[in-house]
Amino acid sequence: MSRVCKALARSMSGIWRALALSLALLGFASTATADERDVLFLVDGVNADQLGEALAVELGGRGLVIRRAAVPVGETALERASAAQRAVREAGAKAALWVDVGPAERGGGALVRVVGPEREEVRHAPLPESLATVAPRVFALVAASLLDEIIAPPDSPITVRVEVSIDAGGRPVSVTGSTVTTNGAVTTNGAVTTNGAVTTNGTTTSTEPAPVIVVPVLEAPQPVEQAPAPPVEPAVVPHVEPVVTLATPPPSVAVNQALKLSEEFSGRRVAVGVDFAPLLGMSTFFGGTEVRKLSIGMIGTLDHASEGLAVSSVINLHTGYLRGFDLAGGASVTLGPVSGAQLSGAFNLAGGELRGLQIAGGLNLTDGHIDGAQIAGGLNLANGNVDGAQITGGVNLGIALDGAQLAGGGNIATGSATGLQGSGGFNFAFGDVRGAQLSGGMNLSLGEVRGAQIAPLNIATGRVHGLQLGVVNISEQADFALGLLNIFWKGRTHLELTSAESGTTTLALKHGGERFHYIYSVGVRPRTNGDATDFSAGLGLGGRIPISERFFLDVDGIVQHFFGADRLDQGELRLLTTARAMLGFRLVDGVSIVAGLSYNIYVSDEDEATIDGLFGSSVLDERSVTGGMRTTGWPGFVAGVQLF
């Protein structure tokens, strides 16, 4: 019964984490302040809480406390280690621990890294599985062994080697202290064994207790038929203090033990698993720790992993990983990586990276990189890069996009977007765009655009190397933009005052990029009979061709509507369309003169044209019926000054 309760507790804990993940897109806070007994735990992810709890239990007997802190940031392992070591020193903690996960294309291996406050205090060891699937106890053993090597390294033997050379000339040798004859091994009262090489010449000092040195006693050769030597005083070997060197602490064997435990926690493998509901069926006996090839549930299933097919009417729950197909009427929940497909009526969760497909009637959520597709009726969320497609009737959210986001509501890429964002509402890319943004409402890029933005409102905080097409276009500068209002804060702006052969004086604002510009104009023209004055308002589009440092050519097309203050209530149609080419010469910075030729077409519903060329005009089209249109045309010229 206790085994079932434990399994139930593990299962409910997994379900609670899944619900919290779907509501908050994962994450945790660290608010505690570290002290000298603390170890900074710099790990995040779907199973970070489990790993931290297991490590806290493992370190509980050592008087250490686990404190959460931000994951170290850096492009290289050395930069991350430096950031972690800086955090240790600033917090006054014992050590910091984090995990480096390799790129998916290289296998996604995980390394546990530990640093202390000193520069040389750096250790690391591999995990037997990925961070998302490793058993918490295995992780805790690996991490604790590394922390022990830094915080409480094992006592290593003191290594001493003493070499004493005595040239007694055949005389007896005596050594102060106890004398023992050995075969070359030296023992001392400090219990020192030798494996180094130390040569003493005179008296040396050591921080260890002074040992009594035991050396071989050299026997003098026996003289051959010679008179006995006169008695002499025995040579005395001076008292020698050994030079002590500490050996490097041996690596902890706990890491190897943890690697051997990986198989134990990978789960029992069964061909078929059948449940009525989670923890009601075979999962009752195994506690949801088994790996199944075929998993069948009336209401739901529970296992550690599925490596084939899982089918249920409501929910499939995998506390480890999924490799295969998962079909559920309600929800498919995997707390680790998914390689295959999740298909459900409401909700799919992948607690790690997704390599494959998620299809749900409501929500798809992946806590990691996507190499495949998410298709949902409501919402697709990826807490990682998207290499593939997100398709939904609501909103798509990912980090960096390399593929397509198609939504009825909106698309959000919190990084750069390469490919296509298409939506009925909005497209947001919080980085550069390489491709196209197509929207019925608004496109936004917080960076450069190389491609096109097409929407009523287009905004890019960088330069647009391509096209902006909409009602309002805003960017740093654009190769070409077409809209009623175009704003480029690093573009070209001129104020131009010109007069034409028709007697019209026009004040125009030219604004645009390096090669194109828009024209917004107002004008005035006295009538030929002199009894009134006509006014005009116009819009135009043009381009600039640089010729030299001072000369340039502006080619413009502009349409102006004329109206008189005394005829506003008559609703007349009086449109003057002008195509012109003007040569410009820059006198000084900000002042240029312009002059050129034009051709004008005037369309009106007047009985007789009130606007004409200097030498008259030719009738291009005339309809004599009441309310008919009259079209005239003539060549002309224009000249003026351009400022700024």
Whole-number pLDDT of residue 45? 75
The encoded tokens of residue 336 equal 């680790």
HSE on the CB side for 123, CA within 13 Å? 24
Whole-number pLDDT of residue 204? 40
Here the contacts of 373-381 (C-beta below 8 Å, separation 24 or greater) are 381/25
- Number of helices and strands (H, E) in the chain? 6, 46
> How does residue 627 score in pLDDT terms, banded at 50, 70 and 90?
low
HSE on the CB side for 282, CA within 13 Å? 21
pLDDT digits (tens, 9 = 90+) for 212-236: 444 444 444 444 444 454 554 444 4
Task: Identify whether the C-beta of residue 393 lies closer than 8 Å to the C-beta of residue 407.
Answer: yes
Is 90 exceeded by the pLDDT of residue 6?
Answer: no
Q: Which amino acid, residue 280?
A: L
Q: Which fold has domain 31-151?
A: Rossmann fold (3.40.50)
Between 239 and 320, the more confident residue is: 320
The encoded tokens of residue 61 equal 């007997």
Least-confidence region, from 32-36, 118-122, 578-582? 32-36
First and final C-alpha spacing in the chain: 87
Percent of the chain scoring above 70 in pLDDT = 72
Backbone angles phi, psi at 82, to 5 degrees: -65, -40
Q: Which fold has domain 492-643?
A: Porin (2.40.160)
Task: Identify whether the C-beta of residue 409 lies closer than 8 Å to the C-beta of residue 394.
Answer: yes
DSSP-derived letter for residue 248 is: P
Whole-number pLDDT of residue 506? 94
> How does residue 11 score in pLDDT terms, banded at 50, 70 and 90?
very low
Whole-number pLDDT of residue 459? 97
> How does residue 242 score in pLDDT terms, banded at 50, 70 and 90?
very low
Least-confidence region, from 140-144, 155-159, 354-358, 406-410? 155-159
d(CA 549, CA 529): 45
Between 442 and 160, the more confident residue is: 442
Whole-number pLDDT of residue 235? 45
Query: 551-564 and 574-588: which strand pairing?
Result: antiparallel
Least-confidence region, from 183-192, 309-318, 558-567? 183-192
Query: 533-546 and 551-564: which strand pairing?
Result: antiparallel
Q: Concatenate the DSSP letters of all residues of 40-55 into one string.
A: EEE--STTHHHHHHHH
> How does residue 271 score in pLDDT terms, banded at 50, 70 and 90?
very high
Neighbouring C-beta atoms of residue 349, cutoff 10 Å: 28
> How does residue 153 score in pLDDT terms, banded at 50, 70 and 90?
low
Measured at the CA of 161, the angle between CA 155 and CA 164, to 5 degrees, comes to 155
DSSP-derived letter for residue 228 is: P
Q: For the chain, which residues make up each domain, given as ranges?
A: 31-151, 157-222+232-247, 271-488, 492-643
Task: Identify whether the C-beta of residue 559 lies closer than 8 Å to the C-beta of residue 602.
Answer: no
Question: How large is the angle between the packed helices 48-59 and 136-151, nearest 10 degrees?
Answer: 50
Average of per-residue pLDDT across 141-166: 69
pLDDT digits (tens, 9 = 90+) for 569-589: 566 788 999 999 999 999 999
> How does residue 428 score in pLDDT terms, banded at 50, 70 and 90?
very high
Beta-carbon contacts of residue 111 (< 8 Å; ≥ 6 apart)? 99, 100, 102, 124, 125, 126, 127
Is 60 exceeded by the pLDDT of residue 455?
Answer: yes
Between 605 and 258, the more confident residue is: 605
Question: How much is the mean pLDDT over the chain?
Answer: 79
Whole-number pLDDT of residue 230? 52
pLDDT digits (tens, 9 = 90+) for 339-363: 999 999 999 999 999 999 999 999 9
Between 257 and 136, the more confident residue is: 136
pLDDT digits (tens, 9 = 90+) for 40-99: 998 887 678 888 888 888 887 777 888 888 889 888 888 898 889 988 888 888 899 999
Q: Concatenate the DSSP letters of all residues of 221-289 into one string.
A: PPPSS-PPPPP-PPEEEPP-PPP-EEPPPPPPTHHHHHHHTTTTTS--EEEEEEEEETTEEHHHHHTT-
Least-confidence region, from 294-298, 433-437, 611-615? 611-615
Average of per-residue pLDDT across 260-288: 77
HSE on the CB side for 109, CA within 13 Å? 8
Average of per-residue pLDDT across 498-515: 90
